[in-house]
A and B are shown apart, each in its own frame.
Chain A
Amino acid sequence: GGGLTPQATPVLLGRPGHPEQAGGHPHRQQQFSSLEDKPQFPGASAEFVDKLEFIQPNVISGIPIYRVMDRQGQIINPSEDPHLPQEKVLKFYKSMTLLNTMDRILYESQRQGRISFYMTNYGEEGTHVGSAAALDTTDLVFGQYREAGVLMYRDYPLELFMAQCYSNVSDLGKGRQMPVHYGCKERHFVTISSPLATQIPQAVGAAYAAKRANANKVVICYFGEGAASEGDAHAGFNFAATLECPIIFFCRNNGYAISTPTSEQYRGDGIAARGPGYGLISIRVDGNDVFAVYNATKEARRRAVAENQPFLIEAMTYRIGHHSTSDDSSAYRSVDEVNYWDKQDHPISRLRHYLLGRGWWDDEQEKAWRKQSRKRVMEAFEQAERKLKPNPNLLFSDVYQEMPAQLRKQQESLARHLQTYGEHYPLDHFEK
């Protein structure tokens, strides 16, 4: 089960047709001839027109939003139902809810001064899980910072999420980065970095390398609609198209970049409309519909690998939480707006309705799971709290593969300094 019927294939916007001449540049017209009154420009494949007419961008009727379920979790068009088995759909549900539970506890822990910083994923769990489920487990993931559900779906242990947020001895990142900057080599999730959109051209390079290696893998690159304004996004899209890379660009359009609403972020029809400008096959989906996200990602993956070309998926969603623990979004949006999304259009609720409708879930299981997931999170949390921080020598390693002589001198200098002034430093919290 789980395969798509031909009719279930979502409609993807094709790229403008470029007649591929034998051995020729796709933009070049037929053989050059000065007798023909047809355009000969190398830069575009188009006909002449003798009426002055500007193209009016259409933002009133934008690119339509593909969905499978309505807001109550009912399948709208049965031929689009991916018919996923119960076990898989339950994994979707449990991943999203476990993430939600972890988010609540870690957000609170920052408020209490236990960790320095946190970012929640409220409202966007569907974008993470639907897409992650449609990939191979070895497909490389480049994220921005609000994709923890991808790691959750790939069974990243709670202990390691917490270890990174606490920067404790168990952190695979060796305590070097702020919370939520996860990375996992084993699960093919490239370590998060704070600068926005820098991962986009990098993901394209990784996809190119995968293509050269005949790896039959796709690279997926997540970013928000705000990051899509960065030059690196433009660079990534253009490189992916010209170099024919097997990559899925996955944009989480959640309505805000910190306090900046989309009306101040762009004037065109969102991110999906930019795709054809680069020659990218593009689609817009309901990001709060985990099956829509799944279907689109699955089909994009199949074709990206088979045809060595990039795909752009714009998943419309809503950032229910604040940007981070450093933000109070009541300063720039109404509580009513947030409540609408929390109550009326939430990926977890919609999937729960679907599960209830199928008879795959009930209130008792819900109660038991809430208790169990909370317990798991609390246990991991308490463990993470108790652990020491890594040895301060890890401040100095991994700058280069080998430690340069001058850096070793600096390391020795700190060691000597601590011998005399150690009492003024929190050495008790760090591994010796």
Chain B
Amino acid sequence: MAAVAATGSRLLGLRAAGAERRWRRLRGAGLARGFPQSASAGHAAVQRRQVAHFTFQPDPEPQEYGQTQKMNLFQSVTSALDNSLAKDPTAVIFGEDVAFGGVFRCTVGLRDKYGKDRVFNTPLCEQGIVGFGIGIAVAGATAIAEIQFADYIFPAFDQIVNEAAKYRYRSGDLFNCGSLTIRSPWGCVGHGALYHSQSPEAFFAHCPGIKVVIPRSPFQAKGLLLSCIEDKNPCIFFEPKILYRAAVEQVPIQPYTIPLSQAEVIQEGSDVTLVAWGTQVHVIREVASMAKEKLGVSCEVIDLRTIIPWDVDTVCKSVIKTGRLLISHEAPLTGGFASEISSTVQEECFLNLEAPISRVCGYDTPFPHIFEPFYIPDKWKCYDALRKMINY
């Protein structure tokens, strides 16, 4: 069956932008497929890559932080880093390929502006990057480390979990690495497969002593990243890579912070609570619209924002009101962070629940390449789970 397709988001293939424009013109002209068909017209057409599974919804322009500028997610990260290095003379940024601007352009211009001793490449070694970052922080300076893809954070797992997270506790508060922040691109991107798509937040959720933060948008990213950098505890900041270019909104030029460990109710509702983080927030926002339109159901949509320590009160308050909870994440179902939320909510809100808590997540498989459209917890799966919950 021919698939109507358009080019998906392409983060690294900048030359493809030209092809994209050609494709859009042809599509506008009424052709379902912009490229020459094969001679046998009845044969199934060549599949094109899928549209994105979400639509980014920008938030209204913030009024309280002064002048704003249109920024995408990677630009909002650059802005946060720029603010940090300007304000804090001890702050340094390091990791693989950050010097030329980074593979996702998050550090463009910073080395020229702040110098090669402050924005520099390290050898290709994640355990070294994080260990080195811990040492900078222990010495009292601000360390902003980049791990090129969250899929590659695992060599640094020991340094994060056994060292960074425990530094203050084990030393009786004589030493700490609170001024360490680790940033890393995270989540599905359309074609990333096993090793460019992972969402490893659940591994770190099990680790007291660190904070894990995931933004849904450029405005959120800058404020949350600045909070992570200022926070006196080691933080991991996962950046949804699929949003780097796709998410564009007005972002304040000046620094500002968004509090950690505070979830945000981005839409109030009365019948079902929907919880997600990162890219998936936009999926459940759309599900909320679908529910209203097709089922007359009013959804309360919550962006969790901080995975640990997480905002139990906001989620529970919402479930006490609605009686129904659906949690959705790309990461695999078993042991995913939805399990933690579900378990806590049933402890705290048992008598308020009208239906079992629903988790709509990735399957318990590695993240596949060609099967990504089937793998991800898209709006149809979320909608279907919501419908079942309403009818329970």
A residues sitting closer than 8 Å to B (CB atoms) are 140, 142, 171-177, 181, 183-185, 190-191, 193, 195, 198, 200-210, 212-213, 231-232, 234-236, 238-239, 242-243, 397-402, 404-407
Q: Once the chains are docked, how many angstroms separate the CA of A401 from the CA of B309? A: 13
Could you tell me the distance in whole angstroms from the C-beta of A394 to the nearest C-beta in chain B? 8
Which of A173, A183, A208 has its CB near the most chain B CB atoms (within 10 A)?
A208
When C-beta atoms are compared, the residue in chain B nearest to A190 turns out to be: B175
Question: In the complex the two chains form, is A236's CB within 8 Å of B309's CB?
Answer: no
Chain B neighbourhood of A195, CB < 8 A: 158, 162-163
A238 touches B170 (CB 8 A): no
- Decide: A206 and B139 in contact? CB cutoff 8 A: yes
Given contacts A173-B170, A209-B140, contact A401 B176 (CB under 8 A): yes
B 172-196 binary contact with A (CB < 8 Å = 1; else 0): 1111101000000000000000000
Asked if B223 is at the interface (CB within 8 A of a chain A CB), the reply is no
Distance of A206 from chain B, by nearest CB (Å): 4
B interface residues with partner A (beta carbon < 8 Å): 90, 92, 117-118, 120, 122-123, 125, 127-128, 130-141, 143, 155, 158-159, 162-163, 166-176, 178, 208-209, 211, 232-233, 261, 309-310, 312-313
Which 3 residue pairs of A and B lie closest in terms of their CB atoms, listed nearest first? A205-B135, A201-B131, A235-B128
Q: Are A243 and B122 in contact (CB under 8 A)?
A: yes
| Inter-chain contact B92/A232, CB cutoff 8 Å | no
Verify A191–B162 contact, CB threshold 8 A.
no
Contact B178 A401 (CB under 8 A): yes
Pair B132/A208 contact, Cβ less than 8 Å: yes
30 contacts between A and B (CB under 8 A): A171-B172, A174-B172, A174-B173, A176-B169, A185-B174, A190-B175, A191-B175, A195-B158, A198-B159, A198-B162, A198-B163, A202-B132, A202-B134, A202-B163, A204-B131, A204-B132, A205-B131, A205-B133, A206-B136, A209-B140, A212-B117, A232-B127, A238-B128, A239-B123, A239-B128, A400-B209, A400-B309, A405-B309, A405-B312, A407-B309
Chain A neighbourhood of B162, CB < 8 A: 193, 195, 198
Which residues from chain A contact B168 at a C-beta distance below 8 Å? 398-401
Instruction: Please give the distance in Å from A150's CB to the nearest CB on chain B.
Output: 16
Distance A356 CA – B261 CA, assembled complex (angstroms): 65
**Cβ contacts under 8 Å, B134 to chain A:** 201-202, 205
The residues of B that contact A212 with a CB separation of less than 8 Å are 90, 92, 117-118, 141
A407 to B310, CA, bound (A): 11
- CB of A201 within 8 A of CB of B170, answer no
Q: Provided the pairs A172-B172, A201-B132, A205-B131 are in contact, do residues A235 and B139 lie with their beta carbons within 8 angstroms?
A: no
Which partner residue on chain A sits nearest B145 by CB separation? Answer: A205
**How far apart are the CA atoms of A184 and B127 in the complex, in Å?**
26
Residues of A close to B130: CB separation below 8 A: 201
A198–B158 touching, CB < 8 Å: yes
Q: A201 to chain B: which residues have CB within 8 Å? A: 127-128, 130-132, 134-135, 159
Contact A405/B128 with A171-B172, A206-B139, A209-B135 known, Cβ cut-off 8 Å: no
CA distance A238 to B132 in the complex (A): 11
What residue of chain B has the Cβ atom nearest to residue A184's Cβ?
Answer: B174
Task: Give CA–CA (A232, B169) in the complex, Å.
Answer: 22
